[in-house]
Structure 1
Amino acid sequence: MHNEGLGGWPARRARMTPGRTALVFGGKSVSYAELARRTTRLAAQLRRAGVEPGARIAYLGTNHPAFVETMFATHMVGGVFVPLNFRLTAAEIEYMLGDSGAVVLVYAPERAAVVRELGELAGLREIVALAEPAPGERDYEPWLAAGEDTPIDLPVRLDDTALILYTSGTTGRPKGAMLTHGNLVWNTYNLLVGVDLASDEVTLISAPLFHVAALNQTLLPTFIKGDTSVLTSTWDVDVCYDLVEEFGITLMFGVTTMFAEFAQSPRWADADLSSLRTVMSGGAAIPEPLIRAYQERGLVFCQGYGMTETAPGATFLEAAESTRKVGSAGVPVFFSSVRVVRPDLTDVEPGEPGEVLIKGRNVSPGYWQNPAATADSLADGGWFRSGDIAKVDDEGHLYIVDRVKDMFISGGENVYPAEVENAIFAHPAVAEVAVVGVPDQRWGEVGRAFVVCRPDTALTRDELREFLRGRLAKYKIPVHLEVVERLPRTGSGKVQKARLREGFTGTPEN
């Protein structure tokens, strides 16, 4: 087979286990053979639409089999898949479509209103709706069904770009992190080394697939093993309990918010969770009491550390160490190297905090059309600079303690203050603004905005939130507002965000 990348996976898996169930969604099951046929037909239609190797195909919507089909079809024809965050506004989506140069957009009906708000995008050749297409758009199912199922095997190499995943940049504009087919394959290998996936796994995927962790830590490893992925369009505690019971879920992935809600459910104490072999978390450090709650329930809780640019696994805490090293992000994954360094790039001593550097075949080659950001992300020797601070114990286990960058994580979503600050600054009452993440029981962290108002103006929290609605995704909008007379600054004029996090006070919140 000429396709060395993910585009060859459906045919390879169907050849080995055609009758096994690949996906379950909405009570319907799809076998590996059927998934391969549908993916091939969709790929044929993409080629008919003029999609050539290297072209970008975007998907906007919640978890659905069409996400999986569109991704594999894109890779079958040598294209680059661009999964978009369905929580973003039309303005944010429009920027990403334009920046990536997407030629096809596939979208789910719940995102129709956002698509209708998009401006003219010169490079977009086809817009495909999963349901209720507008005039001029394609209807996904009939369009797919009209495609030929003749096998497609174009040459795709492991170092070809497979994904562009947008991460909000510290400059206020999202950056497109490129992941190659090789990055995804090697990350899958790393996951399979660290987690004992059997040949009868049933994986629940309720975290959004546009996130690197849900896609690369659950879907792809499950797929390559020929196991079953149960998809849900949203996270719902009761639905999760029902699916565990109905399908005998063996593997779950989630973030702090999801696992906290699951453990706080009235069903927690008495539910039959005996099928669950492994629960995995990533995206942010999980509080130790929550990990212990799962362990006391008899569940194996594995935690890892990584980011979009590392596809995402950089470190992993295997099941055998999950109790003894509770709270640790583990050790470097099998095929990667991790260092924790001082500002002069020398390695720290055990217990000494330093920045995490990562190197390996799972690490992104850089950012889409952004050589400056790519260069800034690399240290001498090609090490990727994470911007995260960790300590290492005397056995080599990492403990993430802080972030060099100001990014915080709210409900599993990365929030970059510079982007939020740019949006707030557009308000006519705002003279200065700084945003930090502060602890929150439900979401882990939420935004707190510190605003200096212009003379003879005022601003309330509700006014600000209304102003930002439509400009920013809901999870990016600060929950708290402090109107202050000044922002604390260093002698060089930089805002002292550490002081803001530590409780800097000004004029009381409106």
Structure 2
Amino acid sequence: MGPGEILPYAAARHPDKIALVVGHTRLTYRDLDRMSDAVAVALRTRGIGAGGVCSLYGQNSWEWIVAYHGILKAGAVVNPVNVMLTGPELAFVLTDCGSGALFTGGAQAATVESILAEVPSLETVCQFGDLDDSASVTGAISFADLLAAAASEPLDSRPRPQPEDLCSIGYTSGTTGHPKGAMQSQQSVLLNCALTATMHGRTTDDIVVTALPGAHVYGNVAINSTFLAGGTVILMERFTPGEALRLIEGEHATLFEGVPAMYSMMLADPGFDTADLSTLRAATIGGQTFAPELLARWQKRAPVPVLELWGMTELSGLGTTHAVHAPPVPGSIGVALPGLEVRIGPIDGTSGEVPIGEHGELLVRGPLVTLGYYGRPDATAEAITDDGWLHTGDVAYVDHTGHFFIVDRLKDMIVTAGYNVYPAEIERVIGAHPDVALVAVGGRPDPVKGEVAVAYVVPAPQAQLQPEDIIEHCRGQLAAYKRPREVVFVDALPTTSSGKLMRRKLGELDGDRGIVRAR
């Protein structure tokens, strides 16, 4: 069984149950199964089947979900693409993986149009929504027409992939050069959904609200682990805090899934204090560290388990998380998923173990680990050791109970006057300030110290915050070498499509609301 069997499995058990809600569209498991069958038939009619690569480039939508499962049912390899990619970035990804078909949204039509001539392998373009001359891709077929043409033809057979067969190619957002395509196996994608559903206790009664992008592995697992359990997914096209709170209340959600920035924005929303969150049984949070004070404020209104987690594209989703009924360990990313080996190795990349409680690099081995990087045996050999350990690039430590704690990304570490400074530690402290809505910390070159830490702060609404307040707030909680040397007020922070901070772009921000340098 591969992930292409998730919808048939659920539809056989819960055919008339609402599976997916996007805006005003509500679809049952039977609807999703039949429509994804039609996509598979249409792709096969166009000669796209086993081994062919099909790309998805669009905002969250019901069409995106149907296309994803249709691609898998056709036996093809799915290539979920970050919707934030520019034309040249999109052209690279499609060319690199040899994509033969592209499903895209109307809002992305101009970008796709601009790169068509650069991707000779691309023979089919299918566009979600209505086609019109001002916002359509030349030669594209509409998704509605594609479904209508194939709806009457049964899917004669479904592929029976082997566990190690290629299922998905997900491109990493590399900090330098071109991104790399992490190849996921059928086993990895399905097993991650199954293990996540198990650890989080998902059932047919669950109603999950999320704005996580389907193209991101966290979003993919949040959606498909819920389908696997027979629950209902309330999928937001894009995140807005007021709408998220309204959906949790109005849909009687049992789970909310998001990244720290989403929680921070909901906490700062005027409607947070009156929103009814009483139906929630748990919430998940991943992507980056979350200040304990903010977590406490959330749990005052929703006193349920907050399941912090960690994962990466190279694992098809989660690598660690908390079991929903286990005692909470705040600040921890949890324990290894069943069957996955996780340990702490030396930061310098050498072999060996690091003692409990000491910082090192998080290493992972097991059936969730990527098959390698598409067309990049050099990068694969650099990331995965001969005995199967994946170097994650995350600095972490483990306690005596086997719970892991992320310190920061190894590449984000700031070396100031010989000291190692981790931005996430500073962010946790500053994020606890009551007048701070969002914060990110990056490094800036310094002629004396090599690098210094700079804090980029989004003040809470109506806050009368001064840069000096941030410096003073850090004084009693951080050693002198860890404190930010500059504070820059900004209106927004650069994030990925999943809401994760992009520290490498912090230096591009203009400090139009005040800068102070610490002495």
Query: Does 1:480 pair with 2:475?
Result: no
Matching of residues 57-96 of structure 1 within 5 Å: 57-96=54-93
d(CA) in 2 for partners of 1:21, 1:271: 24
Alignment partner, residue 382 of structure 2: 376
Specify every segment of 5 or more residues in structure 1 that has no aligned partner in the other structure, as ranges. 409-435, 453-471, 484-502, 506-510
Contact kept in structure 2, 1:294 and 1:301, CA below 8 Å: no
Alignment partner, residue 345 of structure 1: 351
Contact kept in structure 2, 1:22 and 1:30, CA below 8 Å: yes
Query: Does 1:182 pair with 2:187?
Result: yes
Query: Does 1:150 pair with 2:154?
Result: yes
Q: Deviations over 1:382-416 (max 9, x none)?
A: 111111111111222111112223499xxxxxxxx
Contact kept in structure 1, 2:20 and 2:235, CA below 8 Å: yes
Alignment partner, residue 121 of structure 2: 123
Alignment partner, residue 43 of structure 1: 40
Query: Post-superposition shift, 1:205?
Result: 2.2
Q: Deviations over 1:86-106 (max 9, x none)?
A: 111111111111111110111
- Three-state SS of the structure 2 residue aligned to 1:405 is helix
Aligned length in residues: 435
Alignment partner, residue 309 of structure 1: 314
Q: Deviations over 1:424-463 (max 9, x none)?
A: xxxxxxxxxxxx99958655536667599xxxxxxxxxxx
Q: Deviations over 1:234-255 (max 9, x none)?
A: 0011111111122111111111
Alignment partner, residue 445 of structure 1: 440
Q: Deviations over 1:14-38 (max 9, x none)?
A: 1111101111112121111111111
d(CA) in 2 for partners of 1:100, 1:56: 7
Alignment partner, residue 144 of structure 2: 141
Query: Post-superposition shift, 1:299?
Result: 2.8
d(CA) in 2 for partners of 1:322, 1:295: 15
Relative to structure 1, the CA distance from residue 108 to residue 446 in structure 2 (aligned partners, 3 Å threshold; closer, same or farther) is farther
d(CA) in 2 for partners of 1:475, 1:396: 29
Contact kept in structure 1, 2:163 and 2:187, CA below 8 Å: yes
d(CA) in 2 for partners of 1:57, 1:197: 30
Query: Post-superposition shift, 1:79?
Result: 0.6
Residue type matched to 2:142 in 1?
Answer: D
Query: Post-superposition shift, 1:341?
Result: 1.6
Query: Does 1:362 pair with 2:368?
Result: yes
d(CA) in 2 for partners of 1:276, 1:480: 38
Residue type matched to 2:264 in 1?
Answer: A
Contact kept in structure 2, 1:37 and 1:149, CA below 8 Å: no
Matching of residues 378-393 of structure 1 within 5 Å: 378-393=384-399
Query: Post-superposition shift, 1:322?
Result: 5.9
Query: Does 1:159 pair with 2:156?
Result: no
Alignment partner, residue 9 of structure 1: 6
d(CA) in 2 for partners of 1:245, 1:137: 39
d(CA) in 1 for partners of 2:187, 2:518: 46
Q: Deviations over 1:210-241 (max 9, x none)?
A: 1110111x111100111111111100111111
- Three-state SS of the structure 1 residue aligned to 2:396 is strand
Identity of aligned residues (%): 29
Please report the TM-score for the alignment, with normalisation by the length of structure 2.
0.78
CA RMSD between the two structures:
2.7
Matching of residues 102-251 of structure 1 within 5 Å: 102-120=99-117, 121-130=119-128, 131-132=130-131, 133-147=136-150, 148-151=152-155, 152-216=157-221, 218-251=222-255
d(CA) in 1 for partners of 2:176, 2:248: 42
Relative to structure 1, the CA distance from residue 319 to residue 7 in structure 2 (aligned partners, 3 Å threshold; closer, same or farther) is closer
d(CA) in 2 for partners of 1:11, 1:189: 15
- Three-state SS of the structure 2 residue aligned to 1:203 is strand
d(CA) in 2 for partners of 1:112, 1:134: 5
- Three-state SS of the structure 2 residue aligned to 1:253 is strand
Matching of residues 359-508 of structure 1 within 5 Å: 359-406=365-412, 444-445=439-440, 478-480=505-507
Alignment partner, residue 493 of structure 2: none
Query: Post-superposition shift, 1:317?
Result: 2.2
Relative to structure 1, the CA distance from residue 444 to residue 254 in structure 2 (aligned partners, 3 Å threshold; closer, same or farther) is farther
Specify every segment of 5 or more residues in structure 2 that has no aligned partner in the other structure, as ranges. 415-422, 448-495, 511-516
Alignment partner, residue 22 of structure 1: 19
